[in-house]
Amino acid sequence: MTPRRMLRESDELLYWVEECMVQEMRIVPGWLVARLMVVLRHAHPGLPARLGRERRPTQVMEIIYDAQAALMEQACLSRGPADVIPLFAGARRRQLSEAAQVS
């Protein structure tokens, strides 16, 4: 999966962790942790170990924020510079040929 796709997934996971806090749940459900581990592995190799057995929503949110920071950096690095598209290619060629004739 691409870093941008992982960022979208982390946003959704963040929403569910926030819901855990609103519902005053003391631990994050297992189904959510399984999805979170996939995102953490893609973000940085050390993040799954950092999560470890931690299941408190506030602590899990902090780890998601760190994962998002790593994923944002990966997303920026994965996109290279765009190709330059000449808007007036014919005019540019004409200018170059005229300049070559004058010289």
What confidence score (pLDDT) does residue 103 get?
Answer: 60
- Walking along the chain (103 residues) 10 residues at a time, the average pLDDT comes out as 90 95 93 93 92 91 94 84 71 78 72
Write the Ramachandran bin of 85: left for phi over 0, alpha for psi from -120 to 50, otherwise beta.
Answer: beta
> What whole-number distance in Å separates Cα of residue 81 and Cα of residue 24?
45
Q: Which amino acid is at 89?
A: A
> What whole-number distance in Å separates Cα of residue 97 and Cα of residue 46?
57
Q: At 101, list the tokens.
A: 């004739």
∠ CA 13-18-19, rounded to 5°: 95
Q: pTM for this one?
A: 0.72
